[in-house]
Amino acid sequence: MQTRPPGRDAVTFSCCWRLAEAKGSAVKTGFIAVLAVLTATAAGQQLQPGREHIPGAVSLTGMVQTPAGFPVQVFVTQPEAAQGKLPVIFVAAWLSCDSTEAPKGATDGFTQLLFDIAGRSGFATYRVDKPGTGGSGGPKCDAADFNTELQAYQAAFEAMKQLPIVDPARIYVMGFSNGGGFAPLVTGDTQVRGYLVFSGWYKTWLEHMLEHERRRMKLSGLSESEVNSRMKQYATFYDLYLNGQKTPGAVLVDHPGFKASWYDEPEHQYGRPASFYWQLQALNLAQAWSRVSVPVLAVHGEYDWIMSADDYQLLVDALNARHANQAVYVDWPKADHGLYTHTSQTKAFEHDPQQGYDPKLSDYVLQWLKAH
């Protein structure tokens, strides 16, 4: 791992020490214990104080070298009074190019849930910024394909296992959105303790996109007949795009009548290159999950219009068919894709200034972790 400039470490240490003093002797003692672990860790992987402020947890950061030769930034949390080896949660994150670091606090349900777990569970947590995002090197995120991103996740996962604070027998994987689908691909041959996945997918990416487009158009106010007409176009469009491995722009050149249905860029979709989605379509997530024999918690939001609820229902049914009671499916009331709650499906689709996070979700996940 690489380090940040020492000047920032001194400032951050000073701030953290003053905070510990202000909170009292118990927290001060815990901070000393954490510092001892940090010093030992620094000798091997050179973690240093991070920028996040999570009640009950200490934030650390560092850099992991990938097989491709560029570094990616990682974010580690551990309980304030941590001693000995800890269970750890590795995070497989979302599709967008947003950083997984949240120095200004949680701005979505994914991060709020993670912060609650970091501060209340007694677990360490471990995140990585994908190539070209935040402090990570490599190709720009909008040019990086999925295989490059997956290799970075795998490199970070292997580095996490080497941390002195990590108990290798108690590793969990938490996946959000896209990461809630490909999570088992991160771990390689490592036997983890369990998976917690949220707002993810399980079928093929082609199926996901067709189902997504129908929901999006309906919530946008299109008539049923117009939705059906456009779905015929989308069926051809996504087949040529994903299975035929043509860029959206190339498909539109051959089928100019589809232009009214395409709302993104000629070479990109949702800020990622077309090749990213070709590689998602090539995945067989059912095969990847078929090798999982540990407990799984799969959570979908009732008002999530981005992902289909039956993806996780299919996943849980398949897992339980092989190992009874291995997996649990939860449809969280009124939650959207990012786990914020709303008063209606329409509100979840639109900008909703009254959206909020349901703390009962954190309580439920913490109970699941305690039981598994």
In whole angstroms, what is the distance from residue 341 CA to residue 339 CA? 6
Q: Are 166 and 158 in contact (CB under 8 A)?
A: no
Q: Tens digits of per-residue pLDDT, 264-303?
A: 999 999 999 999 999 999 999 999 999 999 999 999 999 9
Q: Where are the domains of the chain?
A: 6-198+296-371, 205-282
Contacts of 120 (CB under 8 A, 6+ apart): 56, 362, 366
- Nearest Cα residue to 183 out of 169, 167, 201, 207: 201
CA-based R_g, the chain, Å? 21
For 319-335, the pLDDT digits (tens) are 999 999 999 999 999 99
- Third-level CATH fold of 6-198+296-371: Rossmann fold (3.40.50)
Q: Which residues pair with 124 in a beta bridge?
A: 88
Look over the chain and give the mean of its residue pLDDT values, rounded to a whole number: 91
Cβ neighbours of residue 32 closer than 8 Å, sequence gap 6 or more: none
Tens of pLDDT, residues 213-234: 999 999 999 999 999 999 999 9
For residue 287, give Cα distances in angstroms to 181, 194, 249: 12, 17, 32
Whether the per-residue pLDDT at 193 is higher than 90: the answer is: yes
Task: Evaluate whether 312 touches 200 at the Cβ level (below 8 Å).
Answer: yes
